[in-house]
Structure 1
């Protein structure tokens, strides 16, 4: 099994090197490539990415969904894995995702998020609250997928025509809820990604929880998501 990893970026010079360096250390036995899809950053993001990524694509500044789509179109391999620039990727990430996809009935998988720079409360929340929620959403066939940690089969991605590039948020959930009609979607807690808490720091717990809860309910009830998502750098 060979995997293309796609990372959308825009002005991520503070984080992108940590992410890309960690992806260089995967214990994955198959072939994999790392594609950075940049939305015309005005900082050193592209320069840094060129040191580590297999391919860096610079396109116009647009939605994160557009960035993911552009990167996906350039991918060579039959599995597309997605993460974000403000992450640290453990060495067994790709192996864990691939293990779930060994079952030919599975068209997609998402993993577990842990805080990269979080406090004890945030660690406990991500370890003991989010996993049961993720399992439940998969069990009721409404996967609540984090854009920084999921993978899909390319044939399924192509069949649903990829991301809705008009979405400014929720593009990950939307894609996977369209793909689920083509096979099983699973949750694998062994596929871990560490994510920056920068949005939590700026928004606070109440705003963060209320936004994502409301967005999840809105999508699964009405098929729509928020039209505004504040950029945090």
Structure 2
């Protein structure tokens, strides 16, 4: 674990660009060389990324995935989810399959990606995240176990002003403990598109919600539980890394910490019992 600083492999993706127009052609060329090297035309795995207004973040994400080290054949599919910035222009410059989903929401975007995926397995990645070279191998090592239908991984935060790395580390450790408790009876609460995988056959059977709502990933995971086991990928080496955008919405790290603790305390008793079967396509987030 990285208590006081980021892992060094992140440094190579610290591009200074703020807009599509600032990105030199040489950067696209370098990333494309790696993307063409690592992707397969006959993939076992399809990595699906939903992207809404991520013209710079998607560059970081795909650059990190282009460094993947694995013997497993895979493809990358990016679904432009009705972006209004230059996300599409960036995608047009990169050697990845890209689709356009005009229905707003990660659920519709991921559904379109799954329907067009060649792989037997689906891995979900987020457009604003960075992935270590071992991520595919570590996720697939668990997903390919007998009886496993869905997996989810862990993630860490990149420090920014007001969000020091050691404080983020402590929050992550608490988050991991809570995830272990959730996993006992309600593992779908830990299934986030930042690092998640499933068997495509079953994913297509249950499908995503086709409208814009938080938790499309967890809803899919819940529906997948009827077909097999949901397993946590505990490898710290395979952690995805992301900037603390969700935490910054609460103003400060202390506010974000307090808000999440209150939520977990209020629903603690619920975590000790399974959620009864229900229609995930129309249910509320409660």
TM range (shorter): 0.7 to 0.9
The answer on 1:177 being equivalent to 2:222 is yes
> CA shift at 1:53, angstroms?
4.7
1:17 maps to 59
SS of the residue aligned with 2:234? strand
Q: 1:125 aligns with which of 145, 149, 171?
A: 171
1:73-118 Cα distance to aligned partner (Å, 9 max, x none): 1111011111111100111100000100231211111000100335
Q: Could you tell me how far 1:170 is from its partner in structure 2?
A: 0.7
- Considering fraction of residues, name the structure with more strand: 1
Query: How far does the alpha carbon of each residue in 1:173-225 deviate from its partner, in whole angstroms, 9 at most, with x for none?
Result: 11101101111100012131112211211223546627975799699588634
Structure 2 segments unaligned to the other structure (5+ residues):
1-42
| Unpaired runs of at least 5, structure 1 | 228-233
Q: Tell me what 2:30 maps to.
A: none
Partner of 1:168: 213
Name the CA distance, whole Å, in 2 between partners of 1:167 and 1:211: 26
The one of the two structures with greater contact order (alpha-carbon pairs below 8 A, sep at least 6) is 1
| Pair 1:201 & 2:253 matched | no
Q: Does 1:116 align with 2:153?
A: no
RMSD: 2.7
2:205 is the alignment partner of 1:154: no
After TM superposition, give the deviation of residue 132 of structure 1 in Å.
Answer: 2.2
Q: What's the offset of the Cα at 1:45?
A: 1.0
Taking the TM superposition and a 5 Å limit, the aligned residue runs for 1:186-197 are 186-190=231-235, 191-197=238-244
Q: 3-state DSSP class of the match of 1:52?
A: coil
Q: Cα deviation per residue 1:22-73 (whole Å; 9 max; x = unaligned)?
A: 0111112111111110122221111212333521111214112111111111
Q: Sort the Cα spacing of 1:63 and 1:136 in 2 relative to 1 into closer, same or farther, 3 A.
A: same
How many Å separate the matches in 1 of 2:213 and 2:262? 14
Give the distance between the partners of 2:95 and 2:247, measured in 1 at CA: 28
Mapped to 2, the partners of 1:168 and 1:36 lie a distance apart of 20
Choose the corresponding residue for 1:63, options 99, 105, 108: 105
Distance change >3 Å, CA 62–CA 124, structure 1 → 2? same
Contact 2:101 2:108 in 1 (8 A): no
Show the counterpart of 2:128: 86
Pairwise CA distance, 1:167: 4.6
Correspondence for 2:75: 33
Change (3 A) 1:30 1:18: same
Query: What is the deviation of 1:158?
Result: 1.8
Instruction: Judge conservation of contact 1:134–1:187 (CA < 8 Å) in 2.
Output: no
The answer to which of 203-212 and 108-117 deviates more is: 203-212
Q: Highest CA radius of gyration, 1 or 2?
A: 2
- Work out whether residues 88 and 195 of structure 1, in 8 Å CA contact, stay in contact via their aligned partners in 2: yes
